[in-house]
Amino acid sequence: MKRIIKTTNAPAAVGPYSQAVEANGTLYISGQVPLDPVSMKIVEGGIQAQTRQVLENIGAILKAAGYEYSDVVKSTCLLKDIADFKAMNEVYAEYYFEQKPSRAAFAVKDLPLGALVEIETIAVKG
């Protein structure tokens, strides 16, 4: 069975997709960019501020679905500039400090809305 997750505490989808979908005890969170959920504008302040907003958005979706950061098993981080990897990692480590998920990180040419970072997430109840 499939359950669509939607919360006003994270940015609304800006295209034909869901914030997250849960299927068989696994939560698939769509790539989150650093949009403030109220203004729907990219937060200012560089890669660390943007990474923090992305992870807060992920946290809001996790909570809406009944999950926690400790349930996250896989993250995929997309960076506009791989030189931001270290600074992104510093913020990422604040959210995943005990049960670290597996992860991949890539530099990409461009991200939606001019974002510096986008992170997609998979969580499993267990």
Question: Which of 66, 56, 53 lies closest to 5, judged by CA?
Answer: 66
Q: Which domains does the chain have, with CATH numbers?
A: 2-124 (3.30.1330.40)
The pLDDT tens digits for 104-118 are 999 999 999 999 999
pTM above 0.75, yes or no: yes
Please report which confidence band the pLDDT of residue 44 belongs to, taking 50, 70 and 90 as the band edges.
Answer: very high
Q: How buried is residue 110: exposed, middle or buried, by Cβ count under 10 Å (0-12/13-18/19+)?
A: exposed
